[in-house]
A and B are shown apart, each in its own frame.
Chain A
Amino acid sequence: EPEVTQTPSHQVTQMGQEVILRCVPISNHLYFYWYRQILGQKVEFLVSFYNNEISEKSEIFDDQFSVERPDGSNFTLKIRSTKLEDSAMYFCASSRGQRAQPQHFGDGTRLSIL
């Protein structure tokens, strides 16, 4: 069964450094998402992406965040200048359609900011 894959599984970074989290969505999916989950809390929506553009973004997704689809398979989340509070699990997801479609998640990247 096709799945969303994310790399790395764990990223440790010094505060203020830039990080790039990578995702390979399911190949025939057209919509891509990033969510985050702070330890012990709910999964929170960050951003959705379609046709090489951001569709929606949450208040969390401020100017330090950006997303990109650099080629036909990868989807990346960049955090420009990391803060301690960026420490969380970051999940990538993809879906076939825009609404009322299941979003399928990867196993996440654990980001630890020191």
Chain B
Amino acid sequence: GESVGLHLPTLSVQEGDNSIINCAYSNSASDYFIWYKQESGKGPQFIIDIRSNMDKRQGQRVTVLLNKTVKHLSLQIAATQPGDSAVYFCAENSNQAGTALIFGKGTTLSVSS
């Protein structure tokens, strides 16, 4: 989705801090969302997904929050590690888009130790 003032292209954190990466999606009809991590020279790697009937989903060290009222998605990474340094993308899907995932602009997370 496109960002409207919430998207930060880069985020720098210290090792051990919690990171929050934001994404504002564009289509109010979107009902499925995914976060991907992309390391240099690699393809997008699935992190976590959430359907629109939920507002929160937790994984291992990651939490995704969905606010449909303001069309906002966030990814929280607990105890960020240097290995978390990568570009993070949100992607949305809707019935209108069929099988296509619509990717947002990425956020580059840099973790310093």
Contacts and interface: CB of A to CB of B under 8 A. Distances in A.
10 contacts: A42-B104, A43-B89, A45-B102, A95-B99, A98-B99, A99-B95, A103-B46, A104-B46, A105-B43, A106-B43
Given A42-B103, A58-B100, A100 B93 contact: yes
Contacts of A108: 42-43
Contacts of B18: none
Among B44, B51, B98, the one with the most A-chain Cβ atoms within 10 Å of its Cβ is: B44
Interface residues of B, number: 26
Given A42-B106, A43-B103, A102-B34, A48 B98 contact: yes
Contacts of B46: 102-105
B93 A99 contact: yes
A103 to B, nearest CB: 6
Interface in B41-95: 41-46, 49, 51, 89, 91, 93, 95
Interface in A93-114: 93, 95, 98-100, 102-108
Interface of B: 31-32, 34, 36, 41-46, 49, 51, 89, 91, 93, 95, 97-106
A100 B100 contact: no
Interface residues of A, number: 27
Contacts of B41: 107
Among A45, A50, A58, the one with the most B-chain Cβ atoms within 10 Å of its Cβ is: A45
Interface of A: 4, 6, 31, 33, 35, 42-45, 48, 50, 55-56, 58, 91, 93, 95, 98-100, 102-108
A102 B49 contact: yes
Nearest to B105: A42
A3 to B, nearest CB: 9
Given A55-B99, A99-B99, A91 B51 contact: no
Given A48-B100, A93-B43, 10 more contacts: A33-B100, A42-B103, A42-B105, A42-B106, A43-B44, A43-B101, A45-B101, A56-B100, A95-B99, A103-B46
